[in-house]
Amino acid sequence: MVDTERTPWAVAVHRTKGLPLYVQIRESLREKIAAGEIAVGEQLPGEQDLAKLYGVSRMTLRQAIDDLARQGHVRVLHGRGVIVVSRKVRRDYGRLTGFHEDFQARNLRPSSRLLERRVIPADEAAAENLALKIGDPVIYFSRLRLAEGQVVACNDVRTPAELCPWLETADLEHQSLYKLYEAHGLKLEWAHQIVEARAATPEQARKLDVDPGSPLLYTERTTYAADNLPVEWTQATGLPGLYSLDVTLYR
């Protein structure tokens, strides 16, 4: 039963406005999600209830929800309904910031779930990115990244074991990793990063609760401290609606 007294669901649609009804519903809900009126982690009322509330058919309502899902704002979970997962963090890629900083700046509660942590020998890619020799020990850990309790990304991090031995026991679920580095005397100065779209592998799909082959945002970053010292090499996959890019270009 929908509580019609709740203003977030009070979307007025106009049959003579010129815009399709599903577009009006989609844009109104998207704006309310972006403004925080409908919170990340909140479950939308059922399809039948929403369609009745807006005075449209279930097919029209479904078009709006499908568009929001493609844009990365909501996820349709079988047996659980429609969950708001992102109000899109606008990120300035001219600044070096971490996950916690990005989401706290948007009043979204960040957290992590540690999946794995171990010392492994550096393979060719890790050695190249961290200026190590193949076989040198690196601390590897994999974490799910959450916003308001909802999984939005998975990060795999490798850092030189000799440089950061404290990472073997550090709390990697409740603290900012960048702040931990700086607390141990490693002042981060710059990073090199690539961003691209990729299709979800079966393992990534399982971790992020999406279908294999779904579009994901892939980022790869090597972060450096003073004297161009490589501190970490990170590979991250996230839901496609997680970020919008904010870049200033000059000519």
Verify that 134 and 59 share a domain, yes or no: no
CATH code at 182? 3.40.1410.10
Strand duo 89-92 + 243-246: pairing: parallel
Place of tokens 């005075």: 55
Q: Give the H/E segment covering residue 119.
A: strand 110-121
Verify that 102 and 78 share a domain, yes or no: no
Share of residues in the chain with pLDDT > 90 (%):
30
Q: Which domain holds residue 162?
A: 89-245
**Tokens describing residue 13:** 């649609």
* pLDDT given at position 126: 96
92 SS3 class:
strand
Distance CA 67, CA 144 (A): 25
Last residue of a domain, one of 49, 84, 119: 84
The pLDDT tens digits of the residues spanning 29-45 come to 887 887 778 877 788 88
Measuring CA to CA, how many Å separate 165 from each of 115, 141, 177, 181, 184? 19, 13, 14, 11, 11
* pLDDT given at position 56: 87
Which of 1, 75, 13 lies closest to 45 in space, CA to CA? 1
Residue 168 in this model has a pLDDT that exceeds 50? yes
Distance CA 131, CA 47 (A): 53
Which of 233, 212, 215 lies closest to 156 in space, CA to CA? 233
Q: What is the overall mean pLDDT for the chain? A: 81
**Tokens describing residue 211:** 């279908």
Verify that 13 and 127 share a domain, yes or no: no
Verify that 180 and 97 share a domain, yes or no: yes
Domains in the chain, number: 2
Last residue of a domain, one of 56, 84, 112: 84
The pLDDT tens digits of the residues spanning 105-136 come to 565 677 889 999 999 999 999 999 999 999 99
